[in-house]
Amino acid sequence: WRLARYFTILTNALVAGTFLWMAVRGRMAGPAWLGGLTLWIAIVGVVYHLLLAKPLAGLDAIADFGLHTLTPVLVVLFWLLAAPKHGLRFRTALAWMLWPLAYVGYALLRGQLEGIYPYFFVDPTEIGWIGVARWSGILCVGFVTAGSMQVGVARLLR
The per-residue pLDDT for range 49-79, each reduced to its tens digit, is 999 999 999 999 999 999 999 999 999 999 9
What is the pLDDT, as a whole number, of residue 71?
A: 98
What is the pLDDT, as a whole number, of residue 144?
A: 97
C-alpha span between 72 and 86 (Å, rounded): 22
What is the pLDDT, as a whole number, of residue 151?
A: 98
Render pLDDT for 83-138 as a digit per residue (tens, 0 to 9).
999 999 999 999 999 999 999 999 999 999 999 999 999 999 999 999 999 999 99
Residue of 108, 119, 106 lying closest to 47 (CA atoms): 119
- Any idea of the CA torsion for 132, 137, 140, 141, to the nearest 10 degrees? -150
